[in-house]
Amino acid sequence: MIKKIFYTFIFIGILLWNAQARTVIPFNANWTFKKGPFSTSIIDYNQLFEGKWQLVNLPHTWNANDMQTKEIKPGSLGKNERFYTGDAFYRKSFVPGAEWKGKRIFIRFEGVNTNTEVYLNNKPLPTKEGKNELTYDNSQRNGNYNFVGRHQGGYSAFVFELTNMVKFGTENELLVKVNNEASPQVIPVNHTLFPMYGGIYRPVELIITDEVNIAVNDFASKGIYITQKDVTKKMANIAVKIKVDNKSGRKQPIEVLTTIFEKDGSVKAKQSTAYTLVPQGRQILTQQLTVKNPHLWQGLDDPYLYKVVTQLKRDGQVIDEVTAPLGIRKFELRTGEGFFLNDIKYPLYGVCRHQDRLGKGSALNNTDHAEDLAIIKEMGATSIRLAHYQQSEYFYSKCDSMGLVIWAEIPFVNRVTTFEDNNAQQQLKELIRQNFNHPSIYIWGMHNEVYTPSAYTVELTTKLNDLAKSEDPDRYTVSVSGYNVIDHPVNNNADVQGINHYFGWYNGELEDKSPKEDDVASWASRIREEFKDYRIIFSEYGAEAIPEDQAEEVGNFGNQWSNPSFFPEEYATKFHEIHWGVISKNPIFLGSYVWNTFDFATPITGLNVNPRNYKGLVSFDRKLKKDGFYWYKANWSKEPVLYITQRRMMNRGNEITAVTVYSNRGEPTLTVNGQLIKGVKIGQTNVHYIFENVKLKLGKNTVEAQVSSKDGKILADNIEWNYDPAYKQGPAGPTKSKTEHVGL
């Protein structure tokens, strides 16, 4: 099998080589993997190659299971009895063809968590082979590895050049050492808010270029940077900055050609520049293009994308080429008014998104990412806060083409160690350069809830903001407060202030009519008066909802998180109804983001049976959409929605109850056991209908809602409830009932 892989690889390389100037080869299949713990952090060749290695394909993580459950066999994970953090190794062999001589050879990793060391070794391949395991013959090895490079940080891409280290026409062996232990020098500095799943969990590729090329190793960016000025419906000025390397050792006369293509392939604009490259240093060229009567990128309504192709030509032949998307748009955050896209007010109906999922950890494929985006789009969200780290390149690209407006940020979260300064700046630079050309991104996130020590953190957040503005002066920056102190010195070193607040969950109450003014409505009123000149975004709010936890009635209590034994879905639903009702009426919040779209792992937490945050509107496996999901869909989506809540609270002990229906097509009718229910009141928004004092009969009850849609079709939803006084809530708390989800 190994020879077959070897020859197939050469054949593919030749095909790609003949097809284009720059060769990009996927490098994801047939890696071998071995996890520690090892007796020493120094690579011990003999110890490392003892025993068997697992055959894996990328993306891959070794924490897909142990970071998502508490039930791990004691003693099986080394020093951490909950989940494994530490060293692991990946190996792969490849054969550079003779046609690569005189070219530049790079390896690009899109994401490895968390700290990575790459080595190159030209030793023989394994001699024994099993079904999914490989055993290596150490007799011919001396452990002489060549160090290639090191990268710190688990969420951004990085590139190493292999040009002067490879041997042509023979087998070359890569060894990649990965470690996902938390450290004070690398953000995030702990596993508390979310897990750092260890592994090469995003794709890897080889990139082969001419000696004269558009920069590959400019912080793993595309090497071209597209900016736009003076955008109107009549004209837009587009600038393209191109970073070019010349490693030929002599002057090189070249032509730089940038072309902007319409979707149909026709040319919208182009610019050609003759240039003589000197053999020293990296050179930066800038081209100016004017696009007349541009087709504007207008979010979900019309996410039109041009394609920018930048080529280097020598003697009339293309020697390198890079493409990037171009969505021509301008955006503005107007204090007290909202977000404007191309001078049109555009709502930021936002959700936050973590990238992990049940049974896979962070090792997701494009199908997984596409499913998440489809769910978010179904909900009607217009914007996503990609928390709390750089996410996959595919995800950003799909947001461009779908029209979702994106908040991108670095994982400077939760804690300050005073040792993370350099790495935070590195990761911010990587985030911006690698994602500079995505039209969907409107803001760069500097930090999330970091404070003490204050003087150090003020200095670092100021540095981060200055760095962001130097790298990209045309986008906004944001810092996020979790203390509800808008004028805190740490937080006001960016253009926008994000506020994370959870009234009725961590503090305060959902609704408080007393003079304390400790609920979301009175807080919003105070913010509107005291900070009217600030740009403010409600960056997080949410409540945990375990679908198996159900309650007929929920109180107006605060600090609900302090009772982790019972997180009823109904309380979370009420939380979202009240919060969105307030947010929708307060333009002081220029945008808002629900925490979170999906349940996600929190391996350090001790709250629940599983180490999981249940604040998602959708379950960890993406199979169940909670009532809160349909609340936002009814409020945000243009698609017709009719939905009866509390569908999992089937066994009910109250004879007299309220029925809540979400309808974005007007007032619905409600029947219970075939009898029309009269009397309905409007709740928090105009899609929120509450039928009070509905009487149930003993046994099974059929509840049905109907409403006419705009096209005359009848929308209907129905559920079944079982009434028996024996189900009534007792002093020990509501009865739990496990039910099947009824989808729409």
Half-sphere exposure of 385 (CA within 13 A, CB side): 31
Q: Which amino acid is at 352?
A: C
Cα gap 18→27, rounded to integer Å: 19
The answer to whether residue 449 is catalytic is yes
Cα gap 288→306, rounded to integer Å: 16
**Which residues are paired to 741 by β-bridges?**
none
Torsion of CA 471, 475, 476, 478, to 10 degrees: -50
Question: Which helix (H) or strand (E) covers residue 306, if one does?
Answer: strand 306-314
What lies within 8 Å, CB to CB, of 224 at 6+ separation is 214, 240, 241, 242, 243, 308, 310, 322, 324, 437
| CB 188 within 8 Å of CB 388 | yes
**476-481 vs 441-448, strand pairing mode:** parallel
Q: Which amino acid is at 188?
A: P
Question: Which helix (H) or strand (E) covers residue 583, if one does?
Answer: helix 569-583
Burial 413-439 (b: 16+ CB within 10 A, else e): bbbbbeebbebbbbbbbbbbbbbbbbb
Burial 257-270 (b: 16+ CB within 10 A, else e): bbbbbeeeeeebbe
Q: Which amino acid is at 164?
A: N
**Which residues are paired to 33 by β-bridges?**
54, 90
With 0-12 CB in 10 A as exposed, 13-18 as middle and 19+ as buried, what is 5?
middle
Burial 569-586 (b: 16+ CB within 10 A, else e): bbbbbbbbbbbbbbbbeb
Angle between helices 454-471 and 421-435 (to 10 degrees): 20
Cα gap 179→112, rounded to integer Å: 9
Cα gap 470→426, rounded to integer Å: 14
Q: Which two tokens stand for residue 126?
A: 């394994």
Provide the edge-to-edge strand list for the sheet that holds 699-708.
651-652, 714-723, 699-708, 669-672, 675-676
Q: Which amino acid is at 588?
A: I
Cα gap 255→542, rounded to integer Å: 54
Helices (H), 366-453: 366-379, 393-402, 421-435
Task: Tell me: cis bond preceding 388? Omega within 30 of 0 counts.
Answer: yes
Phi, psi of 507 (to 5 degrees): -160, 170
- Closest listed residue to residue 367, CA positions, set 396, 395, 390: 395
**Which residues are paired to 269 by β-bridges?**
260
| CB 446 within 8 Å of CB 412 | yes
Three-class secondary structure of residue 723 per DSSP = strand
**235-246 vs 224-229, strand pairing mode:** antiparallel
> Exactly one of 117, 430, 449, 544 is catalytic; which is it?
449
Question: Which helix (H) or strand (E) covers residue 212, if one does?
Answer: strand 212-214
The catalytic residue positions are 449
